[in-house]
Amino acid sequence: MKDDSSIAQIAAMLREEIAARQPGDRLPSSRELMRRHGVSPVTVSRAIGQLAAEGRVITKPGSGAFVAPRPTPLREVPDLSWQTVALGDRVIDDSGVTALLTAPPEDVIPLTGGYLNAAMRPDRQLSAAASRAVKRLDAWAAPPLTGVAELRGWFARQAGGEVTAADALIVSGGQAALSHAFRALAAPGTTMLMETPTYPGAMAAAKAAGLRTAAVPMDADGVLPDLLAEAFAVTGARVFYCQPTLHNPTGATLTGERREQVLQVARAHNAFVIEDDYARYLTDRAPTPMVALDRYGTVVHVSSLTKILAPSLRLAAVIARGPAAQRLRAGQLVESFFVARPLQETALEFVSSPAWPRHLAAVHTELATRRAALLAALAALLPDAEPHLLPRGGKHVWVRLPPHVDEAALVEEARRNGVQVSPGRIYYPAEPPGPRLRLTHSAAVHVAELTEGVRRLADAYARLS
């Protein structure tokens, strides 16, 4: 006998025998087992293989099989409940950011995520830049505390206007920049204004900084300056966080006229504008940053490299002037000293090399192709999902669904059907106006997968209708 049942029988008998013996004891030889049970050598070796895979037996070629050491029994789970009392109820809510950073399982197509697909990332050129950077003699020394001077100069030139390298502070990514800026500019318990909808990571950072938030509505041209003025007046807020270019999630870009109006409104209320310019490099049609229009230190500008290069290139610049800049620098020093020099030198190597303009051009072309493919697939397969606007770049399309649609049920059904989409709900600080989805086109492997993702979403939608 050498079928599966006979292997299982021999294995079961040997398990009993092992239980009765001590670790290190030799088991009967294969020949002996064959004789005892009237089975073939293959059956015996498969049964012993199974026990070895279970960790019960150790085989030593030429010597035979031995009883394996018993696993050490699990120690009693320590009682950590005292920590709950010691920590109090100051919960940090990471649900918004965790949802953004969690990749779906292999067989689920991602129409979510905030970074470039691996195929679009310049990984080889980044590695080459990193190896050039670490070969520098001073690569592991402390950098100037506000950041490597040439990198600060590069960010300042990108921002334009009158800002200089001295106004730029290098921090570890856009999210850290927002946390620093919120903590530096607004005291716990005070109110910060934000567009609605907005980036969940900003809402989470504001909450973690102990801030209240108040939402200011927007349309396809960005935030509404009249309502911004009203919100400043009603709340007494001194900070407005916004994303004037390729706003996440709607894709809106604030018009030139409204940029001036927003600055006037903020100045009239002696308030700061935190300009999160996270998507500047995801389009070849980015308007002049607001910081370049500002002569009064109103704008605190945040510019990150992760979105255009790689999530682990955790570098961003915060550009500010006056006492606000001083407070930001002090905050960064107290919290984390400075950003690792090799990372700063790597970014500098990359953006100073011919790889940078080449990469920008390649990404702009690919994003335009993907955006067109996503919109075409939606029009053909899911016409009920109405795009809010045609974004001039970026990675997302924001769609409105008919009011009767159960957004949460659709997201869940879509996931069961093999596609992950972002529910609109997570982008609203308060009640959403209706069902929405954010659909990302930069995370799928290629256009065919993107289209298949929309087909799966349309199937899920049809099933719920």
Ligand X SMILES: Cc1ncc(COP(=O)(O)O)c(C=O)c1O
Residues 396-425 that bind ligand X (CB under 6 A): none
Figure out which of the listed residues 179, 248, 303, 420 binds ligand X, where binding follows CB under 6 A: 248
Strand-pair category, 239-242 with 191-196: parallel
242 Cβ neighbours under 8 A, 6+ residues apart: 194, 195, 222, 223, 254, 262, 273, 274, 275, 276
Scanning 35-43, 87-95, 169-177, 351-359 for contacts with ligand X by CB under 6 A, the matching segment is 169-177
Nearest residue (CB) to ligand X, 222 versus 418 = 222
Looking only at the bridges linking them, the beta strands covering 396-400 and 436-440 are antiparallel
Rounded to the nearest whole angstrom, what is the least distance from the CB of residue 314 to ligand X in the complex?
7
Give the residue with the Cβ less far from ligand X, 199 or 356: 199
Q: Work out how close the CB of 100 gets to ligand X at its nearest, in angstroms, rounded to a whole number.
A: 6
- Binding segment for ligand X among 34-42, 62-70, 173-181, 214-222 (CB under 6 A)? 173-181
Q: What residue is closest to ligand X based on CB?
A: 174
Query: Which position among 245, 253, 298, 306 is part of the footprint of ligand X (CB under 6 A)?
Result: 306
Paired strand residues for 60: 64
Least Å distance, CB 199 to ligand X, is: 4
Please tell me the distance from the alpha carbon of residue 13 to that of residue 4, in angstroms, as a whole number: 14
Q: Smallest distance from the beta carbon of 304 to ligand X, in angstroms?
A: 3
Question: What's the closest the beta carbon of residue 209 comes to ligand X, in angstroms?
Answer: 15
Hey, which bits of 246-315 come out as E strands? 272-276, 299-304
Q: HSE on the CB side for 247, CA within 13 Å?
A: 26
d(CA 240, CA 275): 9
Please report where in the chains the tokens 């029988």 appear, as a residue.
Answer: 9
Instruction: Examine residue 174 and tell whether it contacts ligand X (CB under 6 A).
Output: yes
Residue 197 in contact with ligand X, rule: CB under 6 A: no
- The least distance separating ligand X from the CB of residue 427, rounded to whole angstroms, comes to 10
Residue 303 CB, shortest distance to ligand X, in Å, is 9
243 touching ligand X, by CB under 6 A: yes
Task: For 46-76, give the secondary structure using H, E and C.
Answer: HHHHHHHHCCCEEEECCCEEEECCCCCCCCC
Q: Rule CB under 6 A: which of 84-103 touch ligand X?
A: 100
Contact track, ligand X, 313-332, x by CB under 6 A? ---x----------------
Binding of residue 195 to ligand X (CB under 6 A): no
Pick between residue 114 and residue 418 the one whose CB is nearest to ligand X. 114
Give backbone dihedrals phi and psi of 126, rounded to 5 degrees, phi first: -65, -40
Q: Which member of 304, 346, 422, 442 binds ligand X (CB under 6 A)?
A: 304
**249 preceded by a cis bond (ω within 30 of 0):** yes
- Residue identified by tokens 């909450």 is 207
Q: State which of positions 277-296 bind ligand X (CB under 6 A).
A: 278
Structure tokens at 134: 């670490």
Strand locations in 90-223 (E): 109-111, 168-171, 191-196, 212-219, 222-223
3-state secondary structure of 135: coil
Which of 199, 232, 281, 398 forms a contact with ligand X (CB under 6 A)?
Answer: 199
Supply the minimum distance, in Å, between the C-beta of residue 114 and ligand X. 3
Q: Which two tokens stand for residue 367?
A: 């994003």
User: Of 251 and 418, which CB lies nearer to ligand X in the complex structure?
Assistant: 251
Which residue in 71, 62, 30, 69 sits closest to 10, CA to CA? 30
Q: Looking at 27-144, list the stretches that DSSP marks H as alpha helix, in order from N- to C-terminal side.
A: 30-37, 41-53, 82-87, 95-101, 123-134
390, with CB counted inside 10 A (0-12, 13-18, 19+), is: exposed
Distance CA 462, CA 254 (A): 35
Contact pattern for ligand X over residues 60 through 89, marking x by CB under 6 A = ------------------------------
The minimum distance between CB 442 and ligand X, in angstroms, equals 11
Min. distance of Cβ 315 from ligand X in angstroms?
Answer: 8
Q: What is the DSSP letter of 26?
A: B
Structural tokens at position 312: 């682990």
Euclidean distance between CA atoms 58 and 40, whole angstroms: 21
Q: Give yes or no for a contact between 317 and 306, defined as CB atoms under 8 angstroms apart.
A: no
**Interface with ligand X, residue 114, by CB under 6 A:** yes
Shortest distance, position 196 Cβ to ligand X, whole Å:
14
Residue 451 Cα to chain centre, angstroms? 23
Rounded to a whole number of angstroms, the minimum distance from the CB of residue 4 to ligand X is 51
Residue 429-448 contact track with ligand X, rule CB under 6 A, x = bound: --------------------
Q: How many residues bind ligand X (CB under 6 A)?
A: 15
Q: Which of 110, 122, 201, 331 binds ligand X (CB under 6 A)?
A: 201
Q: Using CB under 6 A, list all residues that contact ligand X.
A: 100, 114, 173-175, 199, 201, 243, 248, 276, 278, 304, 306, 311, 316
